[in-house]
């Protein structure tokens, strides 16, 4: 093998991706389930595994998978993904002295308890929507520093009125017609990061309540706002989340504008906008994409 001494490893991380677990917790006659997809990556004194084929420094990706399964078996917090993620990173840093950083990304798949005969069923669940919760934990041995980002993905919403778009910049390239009443639909992706990097302060954060609160504020604002644009509605959501949750340092949204275009029936001598029924064409593509990160001008903590 040729050896190019000009080359060095700048950054390296490895581990197991797509570790899927379904964890069932039995509480008397009632059972709870949590389905997750987990990625665990490691960083540290591992460069020789790349540069010198030195496998002695490799904690195998198979061990990473086992670690996720074992921590899930022992943990009381699998459903609280930010806490579960920290339990994995803590274990890794305690167990392997040459590993300096552990990075966990978790997707929580949705299982909602079924209502049967008007009552919550003890052990049956339904996937009632594609939206997922996410959490990313970056844990560094140095200073025991942790960064946590939580997220909400693929929350598909639509309103049939209460949305306008006019007054926008126009030039010779503009063909969009201003509208005072349109369909507004988006698939919400939101991510929020936490202020504190000290472990003790993060322990007091109610991550699950914040997940629920962000979803509630997102949906309520989407429904109630007489939207002037996707941009303005997005910012309203951010303002409320930062006002309600001091532990959140910043919040970003990525909102595709899923266009629904009124069908032109003029050649059929039909006024599609008339009376109280209209037919729209849902457009697969292209879609607008409106994004923004918001934070506080001065941190409250
Ligand atoms: O809410 C909107 N924001 C835009 O930036 C935009 N651009 C566009 O064509 N339609 C819309 N709607």
> What confidence score (pLDDT) does residue 203 get?
77
For residue 232, report the distance from its CA to the centre of ligand 1, in Å.
Answer: 11
Pairwise pLDDT comparison (274 vs 66), residue with the higher score: 66
Residue 240 confidence class, pLDDT cut points 50, 70, 90: very high
Task: Give me the percent of the chain exceeding a pLDDT of 70.
Answer: 97
Tokens 């919403």 appear where?
157
Looking at every residue in the chain, the average pLDDT score rounds to: 95
Residue 193 confidence class, pLDDT cut points 50, 70, 90: very high
Residue 191 confidence class, pLDDT cut points 50, 70, 90: very high
> What confidence score (pLDDT) does residue 69 get?
98
Domain ranges of the chain: 12-140, 155-301
104 pLDDT more than 80 = yes
Which whole number is the average pLDDT over 184-200? 88
> What confidence score (pLDDT) does residue 196 get?
65
202 pLDDT more than 90 = no
Which whole number is the average pLDDT over 93-97? 98
Tell me whether residue 61 is one of the annotated catalytic residues: yes
> What confidence score (pLDDT) does residue 204 get?
84
Which whole number is the average pLDDT over 246-273? 96
Which whole number is the average pLDDT over 183-197? 92
Residue-wise pLDDT for 53-84, tens only, equals 999 999 999 999 999 999 999 999 999 999 99
Which has the closest alpha carbon to 278: 264, 258, 294? 264
> What confidence score (pLDDT) does residue 150 get?
98
Which whole number is the average pLDDT over 159-170? 98
Of all protein residues, whose CA lies closest to atom 12 belonging to ligand 1? Answer: 229
Of all protein residues, whose CA lies closest to atom 6 belonging to ligand 1? Answer: 288
Q: Are 225 and 233 in contact (CB under 8 A)?
A: yes
CA atoms within 13 A on the CB side of 220: 11
- Report the CATH fold assignment for 155-301: Urate Oxidase (3.10.270)
149 is in an annotated binding site: no
> What confidence score (pLDDT) does residue 3 get?
62
241 close to ligand 1 (CB < 6 Angstrom): no
177 close to ligand 1 (CB < 6 Angstrom): no
Best mutation site among 168, 182, 186 for ligand 1 pocket (most ligand atoms within 8 Å of CB): 168
- What one-character DSSP code corresponds to residue 239? H
Pairwise pLDDT comparison (174 vs 276), residue with the higher score: 174
For residue 267, report the distance from its CA to the centre of ligand 1, in Å.
Answer: 28
239 pLDDT more than 80 = yes
Active-site residue, selected from the candidate residues 37, 61, 110, 159: 61
CA 207 – CA 153 distance, rounded (Å) = 16
> What confidence score (pLDDT) does residue 38 get?
98
Query: Are domains 12-140 and 155-301 of this chain identical in fold?
Result: yes
* CATH class of residue range 12-140: alpha beta
> What confidence score (pLDDT) does residue 299 get?
53
Task: Give me the percent of the chain exceeding a pLDDT of 90.
Answer: 92
> What confidence score (pLDDT) does residue 5 get?
81
Residue-wise pLDDT for 1-41, tens only, equals 556 689 999 999 999 999 999 999 999 999 999 999 999 99
**Could you tell me the pTM of the whole model?**
0.94
> What confidence score (pLDDT) does residue 235 get?
98
């Amino acid at each position: 093998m040729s050896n190019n001494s000009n080359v060095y490893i700048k950054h390296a991380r490895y581990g197991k991706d797509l570790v899927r677990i379904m964890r069932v917790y039995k509480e008397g006659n009632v059972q709870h389930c949590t389905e997750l997809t987990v990625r665990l990556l490691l960083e540290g004194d591992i460069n020789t595994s790349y540069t010198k084929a030195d496998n002695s420094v490799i904690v195998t990706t198979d061990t990473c998978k086992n670690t996720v399964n074992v921590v899930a078996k022992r943990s009381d917090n699998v459903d609280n993904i930010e806490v579960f993620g920290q339990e994995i990173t803590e274990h890794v840093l305690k167990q392997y002295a040459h590993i300096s950083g552990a990075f966990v990304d978790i997707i929580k798949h949705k299982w909602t308890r079924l209502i049967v005969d008007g009552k919550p069923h003890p052990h049956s669940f339904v996937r009632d929507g594609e939206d997922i919760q996410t959490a990313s934990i970056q844990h560094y041995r140095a200073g025991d520093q942790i960064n946590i980002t939580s997220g909400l993905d693929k929350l598909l919403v639509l309103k049939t009125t209460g949305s306008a778009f006019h007054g926008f910049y126009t030039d010779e390239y503009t063909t969009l017609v201003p509208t005072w009443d349109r369909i507004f639909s988006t698939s919400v992706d939101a991510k929020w990061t936490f202020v504190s990097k000290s472990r003790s302060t993060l322990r007091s954060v109610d991550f699950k309540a914040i997940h629920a609160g962000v979803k509630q504020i997102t949906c309520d604002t989407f429904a109630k706002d007489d939207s002037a644009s996707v941009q303005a509605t997005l910012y309203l959501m951010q303002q409320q989340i930062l006002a309600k949750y001091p532990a959140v340092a910043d919040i970003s949204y990525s909102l595709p504008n899923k266009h629904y275009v009124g069908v032109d029936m003029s050649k059929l001598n039909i006024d599609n906008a008339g009376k109280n029924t209209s037919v729209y064409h849902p457009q697969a593509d292209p879609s607008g994409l409106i994004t923004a990160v918001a934070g506080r001008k001065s941190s409250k903590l």
